[in-house]
């Protein structure tokens, strides 16, 4: 029996729409190294994957055993934005997938741990912003609790005018997959590296290529 398309597709941003995580993690490793915490890019990726920036800052302070310098978060965001402006690529295959979603008239939005300003910057630089209507970018700064809590996805669904049961979340992180499940939504877990176990454990239906996404959404 053919799959029925969802009423709303909710995309994570970094790693799902835009290929920004390597840049962010490199800048983060440099920034925390400068305050005395030596971590490799790989260690930063493992320790802080999918976390809100304010929560990362708190975790860094805990590891350091002291407060970060005043304005450290703002300085990091400015430094990261400067690196983004040198070039941000869309995740391979996502532009074609979004074009098919557009053609099908399927509603979509973005729900990210990142700020709205960051989403607008990276989606604009990658050329993907045109696929999302005004008012369809939702940041964890709009809710008290970010991922892995369901609050952000529930806000996105409610604001777009849909019930959670009809929504599908597209995520690449454990925290986001867990949040989608807690929100009562189906989760499609994007695993381009083929390591599907970590998202499958959260109940996500995994896939490795964005070329698969339209079919998974029930689009021909």
Over range 27-36, report the average pLDDT. 95
**Residue 15 has which token pair?**
């790693």
Number of domains in the chain: 2
Query: What DSSP element (H or E) covers 10?
Result: strand 8-11
pLDDT at 1: 40
Helix/strand/coil (H/E/C) assignment for every residue in 79-99: HHHHHHCCCCCECCCHHHHHH
Closest CA to 136 of 104, 186, 89, 102: 102
Lookup result for tokens 């109940």: 203
Check whether residue 125 and residue 162 sit in a common domain. Answer: yes
Verify that 129 and 111 share a domain, yes or no. yes
Q: What integer pLDDT is reported at residue 6 of this predicted model?
A: 84
pLDDT at 50: 87
**Domain contains 189:** yes
In a shared domain, residues 205 and 157 = yes
**How confident is the model over 165-214, as pLDDT tens digits?**
999 999 999 999 999 999 999 999 999 998 899 999 999 999 999 999 99
The secondary structure element, H or E, covering residue 105 is none
31: CATH: 1.10.150.240
| 71/28 Cα distance (integer angstroms) | 15
Task: Inform me whether the pLDDT recorded for 98 exceeds 50.
Answer: yes
pTM of the model: 0.93
Domain enclosing residue 29, as ranges: 21-84
Span 40-91, pLDDT tens digits = 999 999 999 889 999 999 999 999 999 999 999 999 999 999 999 999 999 9
Residue 171 bridge partners (DSSP)? 189
């Amino acid at each position: 029996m053919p799959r029925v398309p969802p009423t709303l597709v909710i995309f994570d941003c970094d790693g799902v729409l835009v290929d920004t995580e390597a840049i962010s993690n490199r800048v983060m490793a440099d920034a925390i190294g400068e305050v005395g915490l030596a971590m490799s890019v790989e260690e930063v990726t493992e320790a802080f994957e999918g976390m809100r920036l304010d929560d990362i800052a708190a975790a860094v302070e805990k590891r350091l055993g002291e407060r970060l310098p005043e304005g450290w978060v703002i300085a990091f965001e400015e430094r990261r934005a400067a690196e983004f402006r040198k070039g941000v690529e869309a995740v391979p295959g996502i532009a074609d997938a979004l074009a098919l979603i557009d053609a099908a008239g399927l509603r979509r939005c973005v729900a990210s741990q990142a700020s709205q300003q960051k989403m607008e910057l990276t989606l604009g630089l990658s050329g993907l912003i045109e696929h999302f209507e005004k008012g369809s970018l939702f940041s964890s700064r709009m809710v008290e609790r970010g991922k892995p809590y369901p609050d952000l996805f529930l806000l996105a669904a409610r604001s777009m005018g849909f019930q959670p049961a009809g929504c599908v979340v597209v995520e690449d992180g454990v925290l986001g997959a867990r949040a989608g499940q807690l929100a009562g939504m189906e989760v499609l877990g994007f695993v381009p590296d083929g390591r599907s176990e970590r998202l499958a454990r959260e109940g996500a239906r995994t896939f490795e290529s964005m070329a698969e996404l339209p079919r998974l959404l029930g689009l021909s």
